[in-house]
Amino acid sequence: MERSQEIFTVLSDVYGVSPWSLEQIEADLNQANTEYFYLHDHQDLIGFLAIQNLVGELEITQIAIKKAYQGRGLGDQLMAQLSDRRESIFLEVRASNEAARALYAKYGFVQVGKRKNYYQNPAEDAILMVRKSALE
């Protein structure tokens, strides 16, 4: 299975319907400023973290772990991939996603804003979080 299809499968498992199309995933994988970190169970992709380098700042664009593997500390394994990064790191997360917000706080992220009704189906606010650069 191609990497883009594996990612699509993880996203479909997590969200029911992937918020990204296969074409969007393929385009993202081909971006020079995008990095992916992967978790596998034997040969199966079970989770991933995607970041984008935006002129010296990083943004977490995706983090997803298949439902059957959630609650096992695998999010920690993915977030640990960023522990030595010196840049500021930004992200946005659904206001109701308490588990993800707690994970991000554990890694030094703080809330810096909110986007009203950013997400659809269902409509929900996005919480903006940042981990400041180690150089600041």
Q: What are the tens digits of pLDDT across the range 33-73?
A: 999 999 999 999 999 999 999 988 999 999 999 999 999 99
Instruction: Answer for the pair 115, 90: CB distance below 8 angstroms, yes or no.
Output: no
Mean pLDDT of 17-27: 94
Tokens read off for 85? 């990064």
Please state the pTM of the whole predicted model. 0.91
Bridge partners of residue 111, in order along the sequence: 129
Model pLDDT for residues 105-133, shown as the tens digit of each residue: 999 999 999 999 998 878 999 999 999 98
Active site residue ranges: 92, 104
CATH code matching the domain that covers 3-131, chosen among 3.30.450.40, 3.40.630.30, 3.40.50.620, 1.10.645.10: 3.40.630.30
- Say whether 21 sits in a helix, a strand or coil: coil
